A and B are shown apart, each in its own frame.
Chain A
């Protein structure tokens, strides 16, 4: 991203102290230097010094979740986020991948960033789930043998319900305090439509006019975090254009918010777009971040429920949003907030990671599920669709069926006085539109 000439300078920032190691999910799993940020930086340095991108090198870059936990942990200010993005772009340019891997990657990047394609899949997927074919496939393990990535994709698919259609504009309740644009996201929009509906309602109840542009597409997060820079830039330009007139763009998916705040670097070398990208990045807010800045106005009704809050990496590490969601949850009367042990360690979802590195992702999912279960909470709250899918799947593997919700859904239930049953009743989307 940006000028590749920065790379040697950025690599030089690392003083090899190792403070990043305990925050790195793959180091925690395997205890290997080359699967730690410090080791990966060493590999990047080797590549910068002329070592060609070999199979083993790429393997260790691919195994990085891009969770960014190492970035705030680094006392020397190493910009690992930029380093791994540049490296991934190098890999995409220079390193030919085996056919099967190429096909899987193409399939992922031609599917997930496109809502219409995801929507087209919903029908067959619902039929697949309703006929019980899903259980049969899982029992036989046929998909696992065919492709672990496809099997992971199958496992992660949430139970699908109806998708309510959001209006183009939702009017503020009471005196208007702000007008905000809302990003609906790809996976969020298709797999967790209830989250978007709840987000729009909460914003409106808090006095915001919510504008939901119809033609919005993918923000480019998946592509950006996988080294597909050109694709990411194209998505970014379109998103900048869509939201150009909004005072604030509220995003309820951590990965998307983080990518949009990165637009300034992504489009920095494009004179026609740099300024516009920068302006949009500056106006982008995570939902929790925005609601705390705005301050609570609507009445919170009691929700006697014990929740565990999960820090999504792209919210906590990439955007530094840790306190705001907790503050919002604690602002709900009678709600008890529990902390999950090792909150900084990624759940293994990490964008496309759980599809491309199913084994490592599974192990991290199991660790997270264990920590979540240990809290004894009745409800898991997370602010990223990927995390929700990943942790629910891991919990199900343990035989636990914990209810999950987005921060927006908890607030929605409290503001509308729906009571705890609304959150605990269903698996993912407790409230229709």
Chain B
């Protein structure tokens, strides 16, 4: 550890107590990546604050020392958004996990950032309420992380992303000031800017979330198709009929195989694709639409339709889907989780092209989709022990994103840009676009110490005139800092 960090570590220990500061290299290394393990950096210092005031004190100490800092919740992100800095401080919010208030009449909860997503719903459920955003990692991902990444989930087709369920955030600004951003505030929608900014505009210390009333009825079916195309046709038919399901999820044969190996979810054997359709709402409406959905699945060629008889069967259907990412570990030594968006109608063309890419390169691709909103999660499989395999997988993974952009989509649906996709940003945005975004970032964080190196491919210095970059970039040659 260099002397600057050592001094900062002593300062942080004085501020927080030594049990909240980690400096031992062996321990620090366990924080070297989040859920995306192919980007790693051992943090200089890890701190485990217990309160908003402590977070503010940490940020102020970092700013005073000119040391970059990164916030991390449970470390389950899939874009390396919480990738630490070797020359910086990692602020871990895992000990800030109090549900501060459950305001049932106003359907709100106030939570600390380290609170686990599912724990909000668990606390609210006895009151007939829940927290709607449900990323697959909801059993462990933190609400603070959800805010940073504007996380979605299987049910965001009907209920929207995290941004739609956050009413206010208390944040520590990059100046070390505690402020509250609220959805109803007049003037610029700063909360809107903050949610999904991937932790580059400050550190969340308290979140007021909207609680949603539990639906009166939930019905779930699993339809098995011979091919992904047939499943895709069913999706289009359902949406075209004006039904807004709570979720429509599709898995292809390879991801079914993985899920089966992991959680024995007993999906129909021989399926080229399965579709999970969930409808919720008032009983009569759900009953009517459910019959339509079932018929449309059969019309599109479903050879088996299973209707969950109760909560246990529904849970089993979902278990296969929700464990799919990690389950791929059963059929491949290593893999990349991709996250792209395409217009729903482009699904068959894009999938056919992914198949071709896979065949040309010899790299296997398993597909899991939030089919309702065209959010693809191709899982690119490789063997990390094989030379060049990681690079080949990376190439295929990048080509899939190009495909998404080509079809008018996006390079990320819900996992965020983080460090992993920063390099793809110029494929989607012009220099001017990126400069404009960076000016917003500079407005919040002029010193560039708050989660630097994320989202943008090349950092810019605040005060630099956009679009007139002459001569070397001020940080050029210091790329290792940023």
* Residue ranges of A at the interface with B (Cβ–Cβ < 8 Å): 12-19, 21-22, 27, 30-34, 38-39, 42-43, 46, 51, 54, 56-57, 60, 74-77
CB distance B30 to A42 under 8 Å? yes
Which of A34, A38, A43, A75 is close to B329, meaning CB atoms less than 8 Å apart?
A75
Instruction: Name the residue of chain B whose CB is nearest to the CB of A39.
Output: B30
Decide if B29 touches A42 in the complex (CB within 8 Å). Answer: yes
Which bracket fits the contact residues of B?
35 or more
Contact A22 B26 (CB under 8 A): no
Contacts of B334 in A (CB 8 A): 15
Flag if A19 contacts B139 (CB, 8 Å): yes
Q: What is the CB-to-nearest-CB distance from B411 to chain A, in angstroms, rounded to a whole number?
A: 22
The B interface, classified by DSSP as helix, strand, loop or mixed, is loop
Q: What residues of chain A lie closer than 8 Å to B94, measured between beta carbons?
A: 27, 31-33
On whether the beta carbons of B76 and A34 are closer than 8 Å, the reply is: no
Let me know if B203 is at the binding interface, CB within 8 A: no
**A33 with B329, Cβ < 8 A, contacts A18-B74, A21-B74, A56-B24 known:** no
B227 within 8 A of partner (CB):
no
Alpha-carbon separation in the docked complex, A74 to B326 (Å) = 8
Q: A12 vs B385: C-alpha distance in the bound complex, in angstroms?
A: 10
Q: Tell me which of A27, A31, A38, A74 has the highest count of chain B C-beta atoms within 10 A of its own C-beta.
A: A31
B325 on the interface (CB 8 Å rule)? yes
Cβ–Cβ contact A33 & B24, under 8 A: no
**A39 to B22, alpha carbons, bound, how many Å?**
14
Contacts of B76 in A (CB 8 A): 17-18
**Closest chain A residue, CB of each to CB of B96:** A31
Contact yes or no, A22 B116, CB < 8 A: yes
CA distance A21 to B326 in the complex (A): 14
Q: Is the CB of A33 within 8 A of B26?
A: no
| A-contact 0/1 string along B315-342, CB 8 Å cutoff | 0000000010111111001110000000
Which of the listed residues B24, B27, B325 has the most CB atoms from chain A within 10 Å of its own CB? Answer: B27
Q: Give the distance in Å from the alpha carbon of A60 to the alpha carbon of B24 in the complex.
A: 13
Assembled-state Cα–Cα distance A21/B48 (Å): 16
Q: Considering the chains assembled together, what is the distance between the CA atoms of A17 and B22 in angstroms? A: 22
Q: Is the CB of A19 within 8 A of B27?
A: no
Question: Cα distance A75–B265 when bound, in Å?
Answer: 12
Set of chain B residues within 8 Å of A27, measured between Cβ atoms? 94
**Given A15-B329, A33-B92, A76-B326, 18 other A-B contacts at CB below 8 A?**
A12-B333, A16-B34, A16-B35, A18-B35, A18-B137, A18-B141, A19-B139, A21-B74, A22-B140, A32-B48, A38-B30, A43-B26, A43-B30, A46-B26, A54-B26, A60-B27, A76-B329, A77-B262
Listed by A's residue number, 27 A-B pairs whose Cβ atoms lie within 8 Å are: A15-B326, A15-B328, A15-B335, A16-B34, A17-B137, A18-B74, A19-B137, A19-B140, A19-B323, A30-B95, A31-B97, A32-B22, A33-B94, A38-B30, A42-B30, A42-B32, A43-B26, A56-B27, A57-B26, A74-B326, A75-B323, A75-B325, A75-B327, A76-B262, A76-B326, A76-B329, A77-B330
Write out the residue numbers on chain B whose beta carbons fall within 8 Å of the beta carbon of A75. 262-263, 323, 325-327, 329
Closest to A8 in B: B385
A76-B26 in contact given A18-B74, A22-B140, A32-B48 (Cβ < 8 Å): no
Partner of B95, one of A15, A18, A31, A74: A31
- In whole angstroms, what is the CA distance A328 to B261 when docked? 31
Taking the closest CB of chain B, its distance from the CB of A426, in whole angstroms, is 35
Give A342's nearest chain B residue, CB to CB: B122
Contact assessment for B95 and A77 in the assembled complex, using a CB-CB cutoff below 8 Å:
no
Which of B140, B323, B325 touches A21 (beta carbons < 8 Å)?
B140
